[in-house]
Each structure stands twice: as structure tokens, then as C-alpha cells.
Structure 1
Amino acid sequence: MKQRTNQEISFRFPKGFWWGSATSATQIEGAAKEGGKGPNIWDYWYEKEPNRFFNGVGPEVTSDFYHRYKEDIALMKEVGHNSFRFSISWSRLIPDGVGEVNQEAVKFYHDVITELLIHDIEPFVNLFHFDMPLAMQKIGGWENRNVVDAYVRYAKICFELFGDRVKKWFTHNEPIVPVEGGYLYDFHYPNVVDFQRAVQVAYHTIIAHAKAVQTFKQMNIQDGKIGIILNLTPSYPRSAHPADVRAAHIADLFFNRSFLDPAVTGEYPQDLVELLREHGHLPVTEEEDKELIKQNTIDLLGINYYQPRRVKAKEHLPNPEAPFMPERFFDYYVMPGRKMNPYRGWEIYEKGIYDILINIKENYNNIECFISENGMGVEGEERFRDENGVIQDDYRIEFIREHLKWVHKAIEEGVNVKGYHLWTFMDNWSWTNAYKNRYGLVAVDLEQNEKRTIKKSGYWFKALSENNGF
């Protein structure tokens, strides 16, 4: 595909900008019962309730990256990657979460990192992406402080094994999601609906994060940086009415600031603490925790953005007998005339990415950050294949381009944003949605032995990366 000339570049990004994509172990590796891997909660839940997964497709094979990583990494290079975020599977590396290190897993991750570096693609490694080892979940998962210690040991082993070549590390991806999915809204295992337990899970996740950061800093990895990946979803009030504004503020406290503030500033928002205290839902803590969180803030923030959250004041008083939920304080608001991705049921609001970045600049010391996920899932993409077999996903190109315009504006206004990673490189398995919606720059044909073909967006992304702009 012909490169554009410099004159045609309207939006140029800073030198060394990170262009790439993100994914997770459970969503692409497959080989769920191979290579010495232990079961995680997804393997177990699928075995127990396959009906809850779209078309009954589970995590066993997914996109088969475990066997095809060389081919896939060559394709990453072909679509313009200079960086790539993946996760290590805790239950592959340490099958029971606490015991022996699985040498087959060590070899696999070493080989993946080597292959990335051969292709001049910088590995960004995330340690936890929703995939609790089953043995750890059986003793309570993040509710159990012993699991925190097991996670910190796992993190240390990863730093020791791979820290000589991996310089960008992340403790968790979207840590609010296992809280919401597993302990509030029943869309992840263990399918608990209990606000108090959810609070404890969230709190222990931050403790695990802070202890991993502490370990990383003690190991003094040369040129190494450690961060966290948060799905920051701006909460917009329906109106300027104080009740609507308060509703949006509380939604923001629960879903964004509960992780953002302790990770970046080292302190929980006082309003959140007061709210939990008032309703009798503070977590169980230990004396040294406060100092631990304060001393171990991050170097680098990954920001995942897909959609805004729009809220309004409650229309009706909550049922005093019902389970305590965040929605006790607000209702969701459907804004008239909003732009939608009908397949995912999500609003497309490009300016949201700018609002997040400006908030980071103004309220979080303009910490070094990057867009770690942004993307568009579409059902039935096969129907857009042309006569050459290329999926003509112009809607994805438009989605990326319109978000990048706002990222560019934020950079012009001084936000310290260093890169853009799309979700995702190739179509992958999405938790209970399996392969319902496709997100990749590269199509994976499940009917034809998972054949990979670059989509139109993949060629566009290559030009974007080569020109460092569009």
C-alpha cells in the first residue's frame, strides 16, 4: 500500500509514539490444557456452565497464539506495531498459583518476548487480566489476603525471569471489572452479588498492586517502569442540576477513582471513604496498608476507553430490602441522539478520550500515560469481505481516526500521552461473548483453521504507524 506524503499528514504525533495493540493470555493463547497450564476460573466456569458463553465457545483453543505466535508477531510487524501489550497467565506460569514454576511456560513467554524483540516490537507485559488460577479462587480469590501474597510472589518471579528484556510492566488490567463482574453484577465467576465482598476484593486488589509495585522498585530493574491499566469511563451528568452532578460524582468515585486515586496519588478519595463508612461498607484493612499505598504509586498509567457513562439523579427511592448496589445513588441516563455501536450496545463518544486525558493532566500530576485500549467490536464482519477476501472495515478506521484526533488535541494541550494501543491485534475470544463481536486489525476465520487475513483497518494502521500520523 502506497505511503502518503508528508504534506498530507494533518495530525502528526510525537517522535517515538507507541503504536500497537493489546490482548490477554486467556483471550488468545488457547492451549488451555497444554504445556503444563493449570486451570483458571474461566476454564472452570466454562466446564460448569457452557450455556453462559456465546454459541457455547469456551477458552480452550481461542485464537491459538500459543502455537502460532511466530506467524502472529510477523503480522504485527506487517500492520505497523512498534509495541504490543500481552498478559502472562498466572495459572500457566504457576499452575496452582503458589507452587512450582512451570518451565514450559517460562520457555513459551521467553520465546514470545524474543520474537517481539527480533521484530523491533517492544513488549508491554501485564500480570493479571481477569484470569485467577482456580486453586487461588477456591481459597477466596482476592477476598483472601493469602492470595495477595501469592500474587506478589508470582509478580516477583515474572520480574526476575523477564525483567532483563521487558521494561514496561503492569500489575492489573481493568481491576474494577472482576469486582463488577464477579461480585456485583454476575457476569464473571464466582457470580457473587454482595457489595461488602466486592469492596474487600477491590481493596485487596489495590494492596496486591501496591505490593507488586514495591517489589518492582526494590528490584531496581534498569530503565523499568511499572503501572496499571484502568478502564476510565467518564461519568457525565444529565444536566447541571446539583442532584445530577452529585449522581455523576458518586458513579465516578465507585468506577474510576476507587482505583485511579490510590494508584496515582497514593490515597483514596475522602468522599468515597466517607460514603462507605456512612453505609457500613468499609473494607477490613491492616495498619501498614495506608503507608504501603502512599509509598508505591505508579510510573505509567494505561487508559482503556470505549464509551462514556451517563447518569442522572435517582427517579425513585431505592428498595431498602434489596441488595446494596452502586445504583442506589444514581440512574443511568440515555442521552437522546447519541451515536451508537449497535452490535456492542455501546455509545461512541470520541471526545470522552480527551476529557479523560485533560482530567489526568489537571488532577493527577500529568502522569505519563498512554491509551492502552480503544476499539470497536462488530458482529458478522464476514459480510464485509471483498472479492480479494479483505474485510472492508471502514467503520473501524473511522472509529480509530476520530478518537486519535482528540488524543492529538490533548497532546497539543500538554497532556503527557505516549502512545495508542488498539483493542486488538487479531480477532480474539471475549469472555462470555466468545467470538460474537470482532475487534481485530487481523481477521481470524474460525471455519478455516483460524486462518489470519489483514483487514482494511490493518493496512490503514500500518500507514498510520509509518507516517506517525494521518
Structure 2
Amino acid sequence: MMDVVNPDIVLTKQLFGDDFAWGVSTAALQIEGSCDADGKGPSIWDTFTRKRGRVLNGHNPTIACDFYNRYTEDIDLVKTLNIPNFRFSISWSRILPNGTGEVNQAGIDYYNNVINYCLTQGVEPWITIYHWDLPQALEDKGGWTNRDIVGWFSNFAEICAKNFGDRVKNWMVMNEPAVFTGAGYFLGIHAPGRRGLRNFLPAVHHVVLSIVAGARALRKICPGAHIGNTFSCSHIEPYADKPRHIDAAKRADVLINRLFIEPILGLGYPTEEISALKGIDKYIQPGDAADMRFDFDFIGIQNYTREIVKYSFFTPYIGASLVKAEKRNVELTDMKWEVHPPAIYHMLKKFDAYPQIKKIIVTENGAAFPDAVVDGRVDDPKRTKYLQTHLQQVLKAKQEGCKVYGYFVWTLTDNFEWAEGYHPRFGLVHVDFETQRRIIKASGRWFAQLLG
């Protein structure tokens, strides 16, 4: 069967080849804290988390993991875990407190210190330019619904390239555009909390244009850089083998997996299956088709689970709904996501089928489970098994010829998980958010052994 892997294979990094990039991923807002330190301006998440009922338990990222002050300690942990590549993002409002205009030199200095310390410790920095923390000053001007943001973002990317590109060789322009536009500009469950197609459609188009504009800025200033973009993806299966459920699954696949990658590959927006998406046409201006495509060096895919989709008459626009995993008698993570390792295999094969994609890197994969500190240790066998079984599926895809050349765990330390606050713990390292004490979990020790 397609989903079966050989359980007798003992995973070693050598099985993946010498050119396979191993790493761990993080995001500025989720770890840094110091939300107004040294001239940093507010982001949409600083604003959003102050609104009652938006984030579980009223949590906020004001302190988070205090990475802003503890970056040397945490980069030392990356080295201790034998992880050669460390992915982190740049806080836009730490560099440009108002989103545009005067550069905050303290922000530049901070990220130079982080980059330099990585290199001193023999850890390669991989930078994500945008990981969801839009400056509030730009949201006040319309945020991603304002076409001017293409220029605002391109300017931010240029500043990052000019200040860090002499040492940073690996770049991701944006993280998971489908999530931050869908959750933030359609469903309203993430910052900035907007809802509806009238916000979602222009945001989608302006994000696509901005990804390309940012990539072009990087290429111009750092011609030898390794440039990619990351995309969230979930393996989609129909609830039953009936035409209405199969068609519903196809529509869900458009929104979850195809909406952003296809225009960037030069294929245009996949609007055939969902007529409501054709409303995006009114935001497309002459010349946009050429400005929607970029020849990326790699594509990052971020997969955690699969989704079962059924037809739903009452769901507007797409006529489809997810069958919740907790109703399907399957193993769950703390995010109530199904543990389904073959999903990552299927997504690698799906993206590999696009001939325009040169190279794939799994830029996020991991799991949140309830962790407990017992006698100063955190044993987390479920997370270790999750990583092992997903890596087996990555290896299977690679051995079948899939052009996958890297795997980054989400994430280094337990952190602020957006609307879920501090409840879900994804880290290889446990964080006591009261004391900021770090403890390497058993899964972290396993990963260190794999890479040792």
C-alpha cells in the first residue's frame, strides 16, 4: 500500500544525503517578547491580543520566551541539539516602527547580533522576512487590503537584504500566506480580525504581489542568495467516495493548498472550482500577471495533518466543511489535529508534481502534546514518535525521487501559539513561562542524537 513505510528502517541523517538541510523553525512574535523595547512599534498581534476573548486564556506575547534578551542561550541550545540551521523571522515593526519611514537602528543592531551569534556558534541563519506580525500603523491604512502594501513590503525586504544579506544566505519571503489571509482577513480568528470576501480577496492578491516583489528585492541585492517561500498544506481526502464529497474536497484543496502556490508558479489563480474566488479579478491590474510569478530556488512546505472534507450545503462560497478529527476516533495532538504521518508524504508528492518547483524543503513539521516536568525531565514519547514517523514518510518520498532537500522541526522552544496562547507546546525544549527555565525534552535529545 502507498501509505506503508518499513518500520525496520533505523533513521539516520545519512539516509537523507549530505545535501539535506536539517533545522528548527521559530517566529519573532512567538518567541521574542520585549514588544515595545528599544523603539519597536506595535504589531497587529500586539493590538489583537489586547482584545477580550481573542486569545485563549487572555494570553499575550508581551514576554513570550524572552528570546530578545535570551537569544544567546537559545542559540546555544540549537548548537547543543546538533541542529545546523536555525530559522527565525524579522519583526517588521522592530525595524520600521511605523511600517515605513525611518529605520530603527536598534532593531537592525539586534538582528545583526542574532545573526552574528549564530555564525559564531556554527549555526546557519535562515531568515523569514514576514511571519504574520504586520505593523499596526500599516493595518490602520488598510493593511493587506491596501495595494500600497506591495511597495511598503518591498521596501522592508530591501532593508533586510541590505543589512543582513552579506551574512545570511538562505531566505524565506513570507510564511504561510493562506493562513494569515484566511484566518486574519476572512474568518477573523487571527489578527487583525477582519472577516469576509471583501477583505480576503484583495488581501490575497496583494500578498501574492508582495511575495514576488520581496523576492525580487532579495535577488537584486543578494544575487547569490537561496530564496524561497513557505506554504501551509494539508492532505485532503473526501468523507466518502461520492461525487458531492469528492467535489467538496477539491474545493477545499483550492483554498488550503493551491490558492497561493499556483499564481506564484505562473499558473494564475485556481478559480474554476470556486466561483466566489473570481471576484479577485477586479483587483488585478494591467501588468500584474508578470508581477505574480517568481522563479524560487526552493519552496517550503509546512504540513501537520490531513483533513477529511464533506459536502455542506450551509457553508457559503465553498459548499464544503471539515469533519473534525475529534469526531473520527483518531489519535489527536493538543491542537486537535489528527496524527497522520502519510499526509506529509502525499503533500511532498503533490508539490513535487509541479514541474516549476526546483526544490522542496519541509520548513515546518511538529506536534503539540501535553508535557509534564517530572524530576527535572520532560519525557514526550508521542512527540518523538510523531517526528520519527513523519521523517520516515519524508524519506519514502525522497527515495521515490521526490526533490525534497530539507526538514525543519517546529519548533525550538514552547512558545506563544497565536490564538491558542501558551497552551499548545510544540517545542523540542520545554519553557516554564513563569521562570523562563529551559529543559530539553526527550524528543529534543532524540533529534540531537539523530543529527549527531
TM-score range, shorter chain: over 0.9
How far did 1:332 drift? 2.1
- Alignment of 1:268 with 2:258, yes or no, is no
2:184 partner amino acid: G
CA contact (8 A) 2:248 2:319 kept: yes
Could you tell me which residue of structure 2 aligns to residue 417 of structure 1?
404
How far did 1:244 drift? 2.0
- Alignment of 1:362 with 2:364, yes or no, is no
CA contact (8 A) 2:64 2:433 kept: no
How far did 1:281 drift? 5.2
How far did 1:241 drift? 2.5
How far did 1:247 drift? 1.2
- Alignment of 1:464 with 2:417, yes or no, is no
- Alignment of 1:332 with 2:334, yes or no, is no
For residues 298 and 234 of structure 1, the distance between their equivalents in structure 2, rounded to whole angstroms, comes to: 23
For residues 337 and 432 of structure 1, the distance between their equivalents in structure 2, rounded to whole angstroms, comes to: 24
1:23-422 superposed matches below 5 A? 23-47=26-50, 49-222=51-224, 224-263=225-264, 265-269=265-269, 271-272=270-271, 275-276=274-275, 280=279, 282-294=281-293, 296-314=294-312, 317-318=313-314, 324-325=316-317, 328-333=318-323, 338-365=329-356, 367-379=358-370, 381-382=371-372, 385-387=373-375, 389-422=376-409
1:84/1:338 CA distance change after superposition, 3 Å: farther
For residues 204 and 258 of structure 2, the distance between their equivalents in structure 1, rounded to whole angstroms, comes to: 12
How far did 1:299 drift? 1.4
Per-residue CA shift, 1:196-240, capped at 9, x if unaligned? 320110110000011112222223432x12111111112211233
For residues 328 and 421 of structure 2, the distance between their equivalents in structure 1, rounded to whole angstroms, comes to: 30
1:274/1:9 CA distance change after superposition, 3 Å: closer
Per-residue CA shift, 1:428-470, capped at 9, x if unaligned? 11112221111111111123x201111111111101112xxxx
Per-residue CA shift, 1:379-399, capped at 9, x if unaligned? 3x12xx332x11001111000
How far did 1:54 drift? 2.5
How far did 1:90 drift? 0.3
How far did 1:9 drift? 4.0
1:437/1:160 CA distance change after superposition, 3 Å: same
Could you tell me which residue of structure 2 aligns to residue 441 of structure 1?
428
72-81 or 242-251, which deviates more: 242-251
1:342/1:350 CA distance change after superposition, 3 Å: closer
For residues 30 and 432 of structure 2, the distance between their equivalents in structure 1, rounded to whole angstroms, comes to: 15
Secondary structure of the equivalent of 1:358? Answer: helix
1:278/1:417 CA distance change after superposition, 3 Å: closer
For residues 461 and 435 of structure 1, the distance between their equivalents in structure 2, rounded to whole angstroms, comes to: 23
For residues 67 and 277 of structure 2, the distance between their equivalents in structure 1, rounded to whole angstroms, comes to: 48
How far did 1:298 drift? 1.6
Secondary structure of the equivalent of 2:39? Answer: coil
For residues 263 and 241 of structure 2, the distance between their equivalents in structure 1, rounded to whole angstroms, comes to: 28
Secondary structure of the equivalent of 1:309? Answer: strand
For residues 95 and 81 of structure 1, the distance between their equivalents in structure 2, rounded to whole angstroms, comes to: 32
Per-residue CA shift, 1:117-160, capped at 9, x if unaligned? 11221111001111110000000001001122111000011011
- Alignment of 1:21 with 2:62, yes or no, is no
Per-residue CA shift, 1:80-124, capped at 9, x if unaligned? 210011000000001001011111111110110111111221111
CA contact (8 A) 2:165 2:222 kept: no
How far did 1:352 drift? 0.6
For residues 201 and 280 of structure 1, the distance between their equivalents in structure 2, rounded to whole angstroms, comes to: 12
1:331/1:420 CA distance change after superposition, 3 Å: same
Residue ranges of structure 1 left out of the alignment (5+ in a row): 1-6
Secondary structure of the equivalent of 1:145? Answer: coil
1:459 partner amino acid: R
For residues 280 and 213 of structure 2, the distance between their equivalents in structure 1, rounded to whole angstroms, comes to: 24
1:288 partner amino acid: G
For residues 151 and 398 of structure 2, the distance between their equivalents in structure 1, rounded to whole angstroms, comes to: 39
CA contact (8 A) 2:296 2:357 kept: no
CA contact (8 A) 2:333 2:368 kept: no
For residues 127 and 59 of structure 2, the distance between their equivalents in structure 1, rounded to whole angstroms, comes to: 27
How far did 1:181 drift? 1.4
Which of 419, 431, 434 pairs up with 1:432? 419
1:459/1:150 CA distance change after superposition, 3 Å: same
2:300 partner amino acid: G
Secondary structure of the equivalent of 1:438? Answer: coil
Secondary structure of the equivalent of 2:353? Answer: helix
Per-residue CA shift, 1:144-197, capped at 9, x if unaligned? 011221110000110111111111111110111121212222211232221132
Per-residue CA shift, 1:298-346, capped at 9, x if unaligned? 21111111111211223xx338xxxx44xx3213235775533252111
Secondary structure of the equivalent of 1:244? Answer: helix
How far did 1:59 drift? 1.3
How far did 1:277 drift? 6.5
Per-residue CA shift, 1:236-282, capped at 9, x if unaligned? 1123323222211111112211111122x22224x515744686453
For residues 334 and 276 of structure 2, the distance between their equivalents in structure 1, rounded to whole angstroms, comes to: 40
2:398 partner amino acid: I
1:283/1:170 CA distance change after superposition, 3 Å: farther
CA contact (8 A) 1:366 1:415 kept: no
For residues 337 and 147 of structure 1, the distance between their equivalents in structure 2, rounded to whole angstroms, comes to: 42
CA contact (8 A) 1:231 1:303 kept: yes
CA contact (8 A) 1:266 1:297 kept: no
CA contact (8 A) 1:40 1:91 kept: yes
CA contact (8 A) 2:333 2:367 kept: no
How far did 1:50 drift? 4.2
For residues 65 and 52 of structure 2, the distance between their equivalents in structure 1, rounded to whole angstroms, comes to: 18
413-422 or 137-146, which deviates more: 413-422
**Same amino acid, percent of matched pairs:** 33
